[in-house]
Amino acid sequence: MHIDLTLVAGVTAGAVGVVAFWSNPSRPVNRVFLTLSLHAALWLLTLRAALLNAEGLFWVRVCCAVGAFIPLHLRFVKQALVGELTGWPRLNWRNGLWAVIAAVLAVVCFTDWFVPAHSTAEKNVFGSGYYGYIAGIVVAYCWLCADAVRQMRA
């Protein structure tokens, strides 16, 4: 019997978020955690589609575009945990900058800069946008970690 782990993980992520929200829906951190869990579930389901679908490249692009917004979502969770977020996330200038960066990374996923048209399954070719995307995601996660450490020490 074949178990599709991406499907199991996606459903589990969504279920964990629903249970956390259900335990106390009035807490901002529970609300944001629910949306993060649903975001992770969506990312896993697009990854599943990329692995199983004949139109794999399209779904890889969608998966990467969805993933580009996860650091922003993690920032919202951090803000909710430390009490900076009392309602739904507002796009102040810092969150707005994160949103713009995530949107730019997501748009790059659908260009030939990400994966050129001449790339095939036999000969994978990645464009400069792909490497820029990876660098942007790594920098975003490093920035989130450094910001969390800085805030813990303050």
Each residue of 19-73: pLDDT tens digit?
999 999 988 889 999 999 999 999 999 999 998 988 888 999 999 999 999 999 9
Looking at residue 55, its pLDDT comes to: 83
Q: Which amino acid is at 146?
A: A
Query: Is residue 123 very low, low, confident or very high in pLDDT (cuts 50, 70, 90)?
Result: confident
Closest alpha carbon to 18 in 4, 45, 36: 36
Is residue 98 within 8 Å of residue 70, measured between CB atoms? no
Query: Is residue 89 very low, low, confident or very high in pLDDT (cuts 50, 70, 90)?
Result: low
Looking at residue 4, its pLDDT comes to: 85
- Residue 86 pLDDT greater than 70, yes or no: no
Is residue 112 within 8 Å of residue 126, measured between CB atoms? no
Looking at residue 100, its pLDDT comes to: 93
- Residue 88 pLDDT greater than 90, yes or no: no
Query: Is residue 87 very low, low, confident or very high in pLDDT (cuts 50, 70, 90)?
Result: low
- Residue 8 pLDDT greater than 70, yes or no: yes
- Residue 90 pLDDT greater than 70, yes or no: no
- Residue 152 pLDDT greater than 90, yes or no: no
In angstroms, rounded to a whole number, what is the distance separating the alpha carbons of residues 71 and 83? 18
CA angle 79, 44, 111 (to 5 degrees): 90
Looking at residue 80, its pLDDT comes to: 86
| More reliable by pLDDT, 148 or 133 | 133
Note the pTM of the prediction, 2 decimals: 0.88
